[in-house]
Copies of this chain bind each other. A is one copy, B any other.
Amino acid sequence: MARKRITPGKIRLAEVAKLAGVSPITASRFFRNPEALSAGKRARVESAAKELGYVPNLAARALASQRTEVIGVLIPSLTNNVFADVLRGIYDALDGSRYSIQLANTRYSILQEERLLRLFLAQKPAGLIITGINQTADSRRIMETVDCPIVQIMEVGPAPIDMMIGFSHFDAAKAAIAHLLAQGYRRIGFLGARMDPRVQRRLDGYRAAMTEAALFDPQLIVTTAIPTSVTLGGTLFADLLAKAPDIDAVFCVNDDLALGALFECKRRHMAVPEQMAIVGFNDLEFMASSEPTLSSVRTNRYEMGRNAAMMVIETLEGRPPAEAVVDLGFSVMERQSSARRN
């Protein structure tokens, strides 16, 4: 024999409908599309729901409607402040909306990403936000066949899966180097850690700018696969100085490395910027208040997250954004650490 209802006191949609004197379907519609009801019934259902403290059962809704109101978010790291800002933007945009977030951490592995993607899509998310433009071929194929809005964030590039929001890491790095060149620096070193695809493109931008200026020298480049940290910034900077003692500036692929380099300069009693200019990337909050203040490339991370989430929502509500690819740009923040030579 089958089970009996165990919780006879629970408030279901049927109870609300009964109290409001309408059919369950009408009550259901109230929660999904209130405009479809006549004003009278709408008010009746609303007060009935409030009186009973009704909360819809999302599992039942998801089962019956074959979709969820969950937006999947795939980011490579939870620790990196960069993603903290993006996430904050996403959460802010979704706050108060019907949608919620399912967050997963790919740990910079596109295989892990593919695994998580399959997991997500099996649950029919309402939308998807995924980091970067380098996915496995299988991931791409899966995403192209799935029927929900997808936004790739953090960078822009060719062939978006659906939508895209970010900026050009190549251009941003190139602009940072152009700034150093304009300030009169010539032997500009490069410090890179983790070397994920976006960092690689920053390296490409550096290489392009240096080559154009006929100043490129592989000796100026120090990179590692190790995850970034301030301590690592100091270590890499020491390595760079050992390889190329005559450098007059250093471009760091992120602000942690830049801060580490600054501390290492202090340790060696090298004056910044007189003996060594430093430029970071991302413009985290501390860059503007260090001593000396540190130059960096500002990226609009919060806006990126916020807009990405809004693009998903707008699409879901039938108002897809005019542009599928949004370039948020960047700005080179020129501060004391890269002041003009002499």
Contact = CB atoms under 8 A, between A and B. Distances in A.
B88 A79 contact: yes
Interface in A97-120: 100-103, 105, 118-119
Nearest to A80: B84
A31 to B, nearest CB: 13
Interface string A50-74: 0000010111101100101000000
Contacts of A264: 291
Interface stretch (A12-20, A255-263, A312-320): A255-263
Interface stretch (A152-160, A172-180, A240-248, A282-290): A282-290
Contacts of A85: 79
Nearest to A55: B122
Nearest to A95: B105
A78 interface: yes
Interface stretch (A40-48, A217-225, A226-234): A226-234
Contact of A79 (B68, B84, B122, B291): B84
Given A79-B88, A266-B291, A231 B60 contact: no
A63 B12 CA distance: 13
A30 interface: no
Given A59-B123, A88-B79, A263 B234 contact: no
A289 B103 CA distance: 32
Nearest to A56: B122
A100 to B, nearest CB: 7
Given A231-B285, A286-B256, A291-B266, A59 B55 contact: no
A234 B88 CA distance: 25
A216 interface: no
A4 interface: no
Contacts of A88: 78-79, 105
Nearest to A6: B66
Given A59-B68, A263-B289, A286-B230, A105 B122 contact: no
Nearest to A102: B100
Contacts of A66: 6
13 contacts: A6-B66, A55-B119, A57-B63, A58-B123, A63-B63, A78-B87, A78-B91, A84-B84, A100-B102, A103-B103, A234-B289, A259-B286, A260-B289
